[in-house]
Amino acid sequence: MWQMPSQKIYVLFQASVLETFDVYRQNSRTATEAGGVLLGHVRGEHLEVIQATPPLAGDVRHRMQYERNDPAHQTIADLMWRQSDGETRYLGEWHTHPEDRPSPSRVDMNGWTHRALARQDGRATLAVIVGRVGLYVSLVDGAGETALFLECQSS
């Protein structure tokens, strides 16, 4: 669990989500970027991430590029939303970077801002980058403002 000191927003990642991140960590020299959507629960200001969709066949995956193009990510999100009576919803985006301590590119920031603007619930995008060592976690709103939760070391 991670905490943003100023506003005390907690983000809880279930173990299965961290396992998915680990599977796609770019630890080899040839591994391509991976990613998907983050699904889970909203508890007041707090977020509980219960699923990260894995990269799918229609996605664009290169050494330093990932585009979530496969429509099935959205299909999975819609399905989980319906099956949970709206409890489980879209929270944001994750993808990997071939760097130890990842930081977002301009393309990443623009993408997260657009996702936030597109959300009907008006919430910010939970944005995660999985690096080879660390994890970057932030919330990005429709104005491109970022709340940074952490840059941590994985054990």
Q: Which residues are catalytic?
A: 33
**Closer to Zn ion by Cβ: residue 75 or 105:** 105
**Closer to Zn ion by Cβ: residue 27 or 105:** 105
Specify whether the backbone of 37 is left (phi greater than 0), alpha (psi in -120 to 50) or beta: beta
CB of 37 vs Zn ion, minimal distance in Å: 15
**Burial class of 26 by CB neighbour count within 10 A (0 to 12, 13 to 18, 19+):** buried
CB of 38 vs Zn ion, minimal distance in Å: 15
**Burial class of 118 by CB neighbour count within 10 A (0 to 12, 13 to 18, 19+):** exposed
Looking up tokens 């660390």 gives 134
CB of 42 vs Zn ion, minimal distance in Å: 25
**Closer to Zn ion by Cβ: residue 48 or 99:** 99
CB of 126 vs Zn ion, minimal distance in Å: 15
Contacts with Zn ion, residue ranges (CB under 5 A): 105, 108
Specify whether the backbone of 86 is left (phi greater than 0), alpha (psi in -120 to 50) or beta: left
**Closer to Zn ion by Cβ: residue 59 or 108:** 108
CB 128 within 8 A of CB 115: no
Nearest residue relative to Zn ion (C-beta): 108
